[in-house]
């Protein structure tokens, strides 16, 4: 029995790879918010990029129908339904004019995060390097470290429109690089990239024998008639790279856990081999719902984006009014803002939470080059957004009073 005298209790020492992991960014943010709410405080959170609008009804109806079919109660195939792979290929053809072989260049995922986290294990050995954007989605660097490799951070600077400078990487680093991570439209900065940038990336990858991994989860969240492009549209992209995409942000399906990887057939095969050994595929009912999302009219995307665009405009206006300078993003779910003079990222985040009950994400959660910025998500219901922006305006007024004293 536990605690019995004379019984030796196992040490249960964690592995070094787990001991070295930082807490996942949003876990810590949620903990702080939960503490305040437990004290009865109302917290309005702009911190998490989780769509507040529901999944469109035609998609949930297809899920319900598929869930009642006994054939969908059994183990799915690791490669996903052939019909799903075909739907993904057809969607890429229609959306980006990109031709994909559904049998060799398409792989469904249990959410794009799952594929992003696992691809490093296919190519990174101890001592290998991956090029990772900073600031950037933390999973890029963490997965490389877990695989035994080393992230080499590429600064994303506002002076360069938050695009990495691939010419500044030392030769001794390039000799060890296996993967390059890019992400446009970008999280957290909201930056965009054109086809000319992706063509340069392809040339760079060819020159140095590097696999490009593009996280394209936000291509369908765009504003002002802007239409983001795909890495796969660049000439030769399939020779050197893959693209990760997701239903989460496009169709408000974050909780459904379904995504895709497309591109280079060898990379697709490598990740499929790993996945076949560690997971049992995506529930088939969800796959049928995902097919419906891709093949039905896409009006819902425009409807969602119209809501986000109105929110974006309100958020940007308020942030600039309080001295947190913000660009107006053309895509993504985020506004990236400079903190007011006299603050660093964490100080400003803490002050907003403590003074007016508004939660934002400190830029340093995405890397050291995120210092001096905060990220606000647009995935907050309109009523809460208006109240939160009113509180931000109140923070500005209270700060003016303090400065006068």
User: Which of 283, 220, 282, 289 lies closest to 56, judged by CA?
Assistant: 289
CA distance 250 to 399: 38
- pLDDT at residue number 146: 95
Q: Which residue's structure tokens are 């049928």?
A: 288
CA distance 391 to 141: 35
User: Which of 108, 130, 101, 100 lies closest to 230, judged by CA?
Assistant: 100
- pLDDT at residue number 2: 52
Contacts of 194 (CB under 8 A, 6+ apart): 229
Residue 240: in which H helix or E strand, if any?
helix 237-240
- pLDDT at residue number 222: 98
Contacts of 45 (CB under 8 A, 6+ apart): 33, 358, 359, 380
- pLDDT at residue number 150: 97
- Mean residue pLDDT across the chain: 94
Tell me the average pLDDT across 165-177: 97
Write 383-387 long-range contacts (CB < 8 A, 24+). Answer: 384/44, 385/311, 385/314, 385/315, 386/314, 387/44
Tell me the average pLDDT across 27-51: 88
- pLDDT at residue number 31: 82
Write 93-102 long-range contacts (CB < 8 A, 24+). Answer: 95/219, 95/230, 96/229, 96/230, 96/232, 96/233, 97/233, 98/230, 98/232, 98/233, 100/232, 100/262, 100/263, 101/265
pLDDT in tens, 289-310: 999 999 999 999 999 999 999 9
* DSSP three-state, residue 368: helix
Q: Which string of b and e fits 239-252 if b means at least 16 CB within 10 Å?
A: ebbbbbbbbbbbbb
**173 φψ region: left (φ > 0), alpha (ψ -120 to 50), beta (else):** alpha
Kindly indicate the confidence band of residue 33, based on its pLDDT and cuts at 50, 70 and 90.
confident
CA distance 287 to 290: 5
Write down the pTM of the prediction: 0.94
Kindly indicate the confidence band of residue 3, based on its pLDDT and cuts at 50, 70 and 90.
low
Residues in the chain, overall count:
405
Q: Count Cβ atoms within 10 A of the Cβ of residue 30 and give its class: 0-12 exposed, 13-18 middle, 19 or more buried.
A: middle
Rg (C-alpha) for the chain, rounded Å, is 22
Kindly indicate the confidence band of residue 103, based on its pLDDT and cuts at 50, 70 and 90.
very high
The sign one gets for the Cα dihedral 242, 222, 301, 225 is negative
Q: Where do the DSSP E strands lie in 293-355?
A: 334-338
């Amino acid at each position: 029995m536990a605690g019995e005298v004379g019984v030796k209790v196992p040490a249960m020492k964690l592995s070094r790879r787990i001991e070295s992991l930082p807490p996942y960014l949003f876990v810590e943010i949620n903990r702080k918010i939960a503490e305040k709410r437990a004290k009865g405080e109302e917290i309005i959170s702009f911190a998490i990029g989780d769509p507040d609008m529901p999944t469109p009804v035609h998609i949930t109806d297809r899920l319900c129908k598929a869930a009642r079919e006994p054939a969908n109660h059994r183990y799915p195939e690791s490669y996903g339904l052939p019909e799903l792979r075909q739907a993904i290929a057809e969607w890429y053809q229609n959306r980006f004019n990109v031709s994909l072989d559904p049998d060799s260049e398409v792989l469904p995922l249990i959410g794009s995060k799952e594929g992003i986290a696992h691809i490093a294990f296919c190519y990174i050995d101890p001592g290998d390097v991956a090029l990772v954007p900073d600031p950037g989605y933390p999973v890029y660097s963490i997965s490389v470290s877990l695989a035994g490799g080393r992230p080499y951070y590429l600064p994303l600077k506002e002076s360069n429109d938050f695009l990495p400078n691939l010419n500044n990487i030392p030769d001794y680093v390039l000799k060890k690089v296996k993967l390059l991570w890019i992400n446009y439209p970008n999280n957290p900065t909201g930056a965009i990239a054109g086809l000319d940038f992706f063509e340069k990336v392809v040339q760079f990858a060819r020159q140095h024998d590097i696999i490009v991994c593009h996280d394209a989860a936000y291509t369908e969240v765009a504003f002002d008639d802007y239409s983001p492009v795909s890495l796969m549209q660049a000439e030769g992209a399939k020779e050197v790279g893959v693209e990760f995409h997701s239903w989460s942000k496009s169709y408000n399906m974050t909780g459904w856990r379904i995504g895709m990887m497309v591109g280079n057939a060898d990379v697709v095969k490598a990740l499929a081999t790993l996945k076949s050994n560690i997971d049992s595929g995506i529930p088939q009912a969800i796959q049928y719902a995902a097919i419906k999302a891709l093949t039905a009219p896409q009006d819902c995307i425009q409807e969602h984006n119209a809501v986000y665009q109105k929110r974006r405009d309100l958020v940007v206006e308020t942030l600039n009014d309080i001295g947190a300078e913000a660009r107006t993003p053309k895509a993504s779910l985020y506004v990236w803002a400079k903190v007011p003079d006299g603050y660093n990222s964490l100080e400003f985040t803490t002050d907003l939470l403590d003074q007016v009950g508004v939660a934002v994400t400190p830029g340093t959660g995405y890397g050291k080059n995120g210092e001096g910025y905060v990220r606000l998500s647009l995935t907050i219901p309109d009523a809460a957004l208006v109240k939160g922006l009113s509180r931000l305006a109140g923070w500005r007024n209270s700060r003016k009073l303090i400065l006068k004293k």
